[in-house]
Amino acid sequence: MHELSLCQAIAGVVRPYAKDRHIDVVHVQIGALRQVVPESLSFCWSMVREHESMPEAELALEFVTAAVGCRECGRQSEITSRWSVSCPECGSADVEVLRGEEFLVTSLDVS
């Protein structure tokens, strides 16, 4: 379950910025190609936040769709499959991933 290590990484990013303030919400952007199970991430966060002295900190997840630019046909397209990264227009595997690999803490709500 890599979601546990992802939550530990989130806490590691948050901790220095929070200082002595109460953390209400941690906003995280997750790309579709990261293969994160939202329910598992939320469950793991509930354990990690207790250990990290952020017992009330919630995760606000923003999911980013995947898109590729095809070097074969020149088109940019969203992809819906997390298992195959190829051009949905021509089927070529010669693509550049334009988005969908994000895993970012984008902001914190503190009080």
73 marked among binding-site residues: yes
87 marked among binding-site residues: yes
Got the DSSP string for 29-86?
A: EEEGGG---HHHHHHHHHHHHHHTT-TTPEEEEEEE-EEEEETTT--EEEE--SS--S
90 marked among binding-site residues: yes
- 100 sits in which H/E element: none
70 marked among binding-site residues: yes
Binding-site members for Zn(2+) are: 70, 73, 87, 90
Binding-site members are: 2, 70, 73, 87, 90
Binding-site members for Ni(2+) are: 2
